[in-house]
Structure 1
Amino acid sequence: MIEVGVTAVATLCAVVLGGWLTLRGQDRLWRRDTERQWRDIRLKAYTDFLTAMRELVAYLLTPTAVVTAVPRQSGEGDDMPFFDERGTRHKERLEATKSAIRLVAGTAAVVEATDALVRRARLVAVARAEHGPDAIPPERFTELWAAERAFLRDARAEVGLVRPSDQ
């Protein structure tokens, strides 16, 4: 009788342990799949944002681009660029992809880097309004590309694409 009881308890313990290990394994798989999905969502949002920013800059460098700069009413110091119909589409796409990043970013650093990059793109647009496409001050581009590198660094770190040379 004792042997039957010991066997039953041992079997019950094995079933409970097996069930617990199975649940733990399933939970790990679910977490890994969820992390992968979020990584893919973020990569898409970041790629779309960079593409939109590059398209706006390419538009600004065309001789036919029509950009005007108007001082902000809030008195923040920076002029606000306004575009013709073609440029407005690029600006709206940049703003939409910026909002998408705000929805999916996992860290504040990525959101801050996004804001900084958009600010630098606006400064290039303001410079384009004041100068021709060949006379935009080079420091505007230096600042823009530095902001892009900072965004890339933060975005890559967030999605786990850090290379040894990035550290």
Structure 2
Amino acid sequence: MTASVITGLVALVGVALGGWLSLRNQDRMWQREHQRQWRDIRLSVCNEFLAANRRYVAYVLDPGASITAVPHPREPGRLMPFFDETGRPYKEALEAGFTAMRLVTQRPDTVRAGVLFVNCAREVAAARATLSEADIPSQAFARLWAAEQDFINAVRAELGLATMPRQP
């Protein structure tokens, strides 16, 4: 009789242990899938933000672009660019991409790099308000491309990828 009780208890413990291990395995698989989905979301949103920034700058460099600039209300010495109806979609896409990027990224370094990237693009647009596309100072572009590289590397770090070397 004791042997059959012990056998039954051992079987019951085995079933409970098997169920617990199976549940633990499923939880781990769900967590990995959840992390993969968020990684894909971050990559997609950051890619769209980069593309919106590039389209914004391409519009700014268009000889027909109509841009005005006014002094920034809270940052003395800085100009805020404003676009006409043709350029407004580029600005709105950049702002939407910027907001989405801040919504899905995890690291403050990624957000800081994104803020700098947008500010550098706005600096180029503000310069374009008073200068032709050919007369925008090369330093503004150097800052913009360095900020883009920093943003890309921040996103790569967030995704667990190696940092890309700076381009000359």
Shorter chain as normaliser: what TM range?
over 0.9
Shift of 1:160: 2.1
Indicate the residue corresponding to 2:70 in structure 1: 70
Partner residue, 2:127: 127
- Contiguous gaps of at least 5 residues in structure 1: none
Question: How far apart, in 2, do the equivalents of 1:73 and 1:150 lie?
Answer: 27
Match of 1:82, SS state, is: strand
Tell me the alpha carbon deviations over residues 75-110 of structure 1, each in whole angstroms, 9 at most, x when there is no partner. 432110111112111011000111111211111111
Distance 1:149 1:13 in 2: 56
Secondary structure of the residue that 1:134 maps to in structure 2? helix
Cα distance change, pair 165–84 in 1 and its aligned pair in 2 (3 A): closer
> How is 1:9-158 mapped onto 2 (pairs within 5 angstroms)?
9-158=9-158
* C-alpha separation in 1, matches of 2:77 and 2:148: 23
Identity among equivalent pairs (%): 48
The alignment's TM-score, normalised by the length of structure 2, stands at 0.93
How many equivalent pairs are there? Answer: 166
SS at match of 2:70: strand
Q: Distance in 1 between the 2:4 and 2:12 partners?
A: 12
**TM-score, normalised on structure 1?**
0.94
1:137-165 deviations in whole A, cap 9, x for unaligned? 00001000110111101111112232686
